[in-house]
Amino acid sequence: MRLLLLSTGRRSKLLVALVGILFAAGLASQSGKLEQVQKSDTADFLPGGAESVAALEAARQFPSGDVSPAVVVAARDGGLTGADRAALSRGRAAAADGSLPLAVDRLPPVTFARDGAAALLPVPLRAGDGDAVAEAVKELRAALTDAPPGLETAVTGPAGFTTDLKDVFAGADTRLLAVTGGLVLVLLILIYRSPIFWLVPFFTVLLTEGASRGMAALLGEAGLTINGQNAGILSVLVFGAATDYALLLVARYREELRREEDAGRAMAAALRGAAPAILASGGTVIAGLLTLVLADVDSTASIGPLGAVGVALALLLSLTVLPATLVLVGRRAFWPYVPRVVAASAPGAATPRDPADDPREHRIWHALGRRIEAHPRRLWLGATAILAVLALGLTGIDTSLTQEQQLRGNPEAVTGQALLAEHFPAGSSAPASVIVPPGGDVEAVRAAVERSDAAAGIQRTEEGRPGTQLSVVLASDPFSERAVAAIPRLRAAVHAVAPEALIGGQTAQSYDLRQAAERDNLAIPPLTLLVVLLILIALLRAVVAPLLLLAATALSAAAALGAGVVIFGHVLDLPAVDPALPLLAFVFLVALGIDYTIFLMARAREEAARRGTRRGVLAALAVTGGVITSAGVVLAGTFSALAVLPLVLLTELGTVVAFGVLLDTLLVRSVLVPALVHDVGERVWWPSRPARDDGDVR
């Protein structure tokens, strides 16, 4: 605490502000590297023990190496013309001129459909360099713009999907920053109703966001797996967390300015009162996020350290740079609503010195407190029933979102795959890889593949040091749910005759990724709850209160997910839920939801020592209700900004977290928790006794 109080000293506050700003600016200078370290291939996020990863490592040892096919498809209603065929031949020759990172020495010939209305040209690209693959796809697409009029063309396949996914995040940082920053700016102006005061917290928030992106870039260079969606989640999390901590500290500072004339002493008192709760809240969020590092899916696991670092920076700057800057500008920055010192007054005086006792200061929350005081059990039972009904939506959850459905709208890879499927076997765009090690019965494997209903045939065979590689055309669209569900059958058929054989490829990777996500969905949430519970027990020095708070928060998270499932299917018309959503949403909702409850209960414990538990929790609700609600609205708004990115997972995550934060802020923290604590009374602090006995008399 002594170190934090340096930001309030007459001489030290300027030094703290300068050092903090220089430190954050130094990190922010690295943020330009963040996009360069991001990855977009599915294989980058698979657990190391997945069969498709072993298949990929083996495939890289064949002469063709790791292949990411870009599939050019062209079609014309009524049949291809001679000019169409000539243009496709010229396009093939141009693709083979050496400018593309081809995985083969010679391109395969153009394949024409039996009906004569379509043509197909697979372009095997070497998958080692994602940027090179994306540039090659863009070059192919640019070349197709010179196709004869009326010829419908597209570039699809794994390379096409990877490029479209990469394009989603091109410039996304700027869009997300503009939307999130603009939203936070408007909300700060509305909350503080001051033409100048918003500049101080907004400056700290922007500084924190830049520093967190710079740190993320450094972590990416150090080997952490980062993709565009993780970078987007980091931005909204940091914006929301930094703004929340600023709101909480400023509210306590403004309260202390009514008691103390000197801004430095008022800020010192505010830090003594608010900093422990802010640190505990932030620490809980960090601990909850860090449980994600145990996830099998690397893209999910990387969100843990990324988010933890972002929240840690938000805590650091909010408790150093922000208070130092606030003390430097003084109380006049609140103009036109400058807080004035209120003289000590007798009980019942017109203007109480303690804002918690002033019904005019927190009129709505005092009124809600009186309602809770009159009917606590009825209110917490009713709130619990509402949450339980919302949670019923989880019974309809469908986590079968495929790669083809990940992008909102109609990207070229999706339309190209549909065009291909009209004239050719749908699996032609992304064959599965079956690798038979040396000594294996290749002919038996070939026969097993041909008998399997998951395969439509064998496209080609390649010999190499790892054995024999069969490129298997799947019977279904390789990016569809049907093809993903068929991978276990194909593996069972092959393993029956060659147990050491490996089945990989784009569809197998999608299957393994889904299996890993489902394991994570079951394994991580209990650990997150346990970590949060232990922190609550240590913070509140109680057992009953943490158990009740955690149960309320978990039920709130389930309610938000259940409501989200209904919203996705009946309002947003999304095809399914991303397999990674349940875990990410649960961890974010529990960590962020308990954040506000900690701030309420830390103040309730403080008030209980003077007033008793029942009166103390109502006083805490009155004095923190406005600022916590404002913080919840800001956090919900920042997460809703994820919808500007056309990726289904981010749309779903933003929707669920925004809804859940509002639900937690307006119902759980405002009604359920205060009513429950009021009903239980002093026993909520068992085995400790922070409350006065006479304060618990109804």
What 3-state DSSP class applies to 479? coil
**Percent residues over pLDDT 90 in the chain:** 48
Q: 183 is written with which tokens?
A: 């939203």
pLDDT digits (tens, 9 = 90+) for 64-86: 877 888 999 999 998 999 999 99
Q: 613 is written with which tokens?
A: 């538990």
The CA distance from 124 to 144, in Å, is 17
Q: What one-character DSSP code corresponds to residue 110?
A: P
> What number is the average pLDDT over the span 429-435?
92
Helix (H) or strand (E) holding 617: helix 613-640
Q: Is residue 93 part of a domain?
A: yes
Write down the residue that tokens 């593309």 correspond to.
100
Provide the 10 A C-beta neighbour count for residue 619.
Answer: 26
- Cβ–Cβ < 8 Å for 506, 482: no
At 563, the pLDDT band (50, 70, 90 cuts) reads very high
Range of the domain at 135: 66-167
Give pLDDT, residue 385: 97
Q: Is residue 122 part of a domain?
A: yes
Q: 66 is written with which tokens?
A: 């790791």
Q: Is residue 159 part of a domain?
A: yes
Which residue, 268, 280, 209, is CA-closest to 243?
Answer: 209
At 694, the pLDDT band (50, 70, 90 cuts) reads very low
pLDDT digits (tens, 9 = 90+) for 570-592: 898 888 999 999 999 999 999 88
Q: Is residue 348 part of a domain?
A: no
- Of how many residues is the chain composed? 698
pLDDT over threshold 80, residue 40: no
- How many separate domains does the chain show? 1
- Cβ–Cβ < 8 Å for 611, 695: yes
Give pLDDT, residue 350: 47
**Percent residues over pLDDT 70 in the chain:** 94
Instruction: Tell me which of 7-11, 551-555, 673-677 is least confident.
Output: 7-11
- Cβ–Cβ < 8 Å for 288, 587: yes
Residue 122 pairs in a beta bridge with: 71
Q: What one-character DSSP code corresponds to residue 116?
A: S
Provide the 10 A C-beta neighbour count for residue 97.
Answer: 7
The CA distance from 455 to 56, in Å, is 19
- Report the predicted TM-score, pTM, of the whole model to 2 decimal places: 0.86
Give pLDDT, residue 642: 86
> What number is the average pLDDT over the span 3-15?
85
> What number is the average pLDDT over the span 415-440?
92
Q: Is residue 118 part of a domain?
A: yes
Give pLDDT, residue 319: 94
pLDDT digits (tens, 9 = 90+) for 611-640: 888 999 999 898 888 888 888 888 898 898
The CA distance from 454 to 486, in Å, is 5
pLDDT digits (tens, 9 = 90+) for 280-306: 889 989 999 999 999 988 888 889 999
Q: 68 is written with which tokens?
A: 């990411």
The CA distance from 516 to 521, in Å, is 9
The CA distance from 57 to 50, in Å, is 11
CATH of the domain at 141: 3.30.70
Q: Is residue 129 part of a domain?
A: yes
Give pLDDT, residue 41: 64
Give pLDDT, residue 346: 47
pLDDT over threshold 60, residue 345: no
Q: Is residue 112 part of a domain?
A: yes
Instruction: Tell me which of 126-135, 165-174, 419-428 is least confident.
Output: 165-174
> What number is the average pLDDT over the span 460-485?
92
pLDDT over threshold 80, residue 255: yes
The CA distance from 182 to 202, in Å, is 10
Residue 473 pairs in a beta bridge with: 457
Q: Which residues contact 78 (CB under 8 A, 6 or more apart)?
A: 117
Give pLDDT, residue 394: 94
Q: Is residue 100 part of a domain?
A: yes
Which residue, 294, 239, 321, 229, is CA-closest to 592?
Answer: 239
Q: What one-character DSSP code corresponds to residue 695?
A: G
> What number is the average pLDDT over the span 384-389?
97
Mean pLDDT of the chain: 87
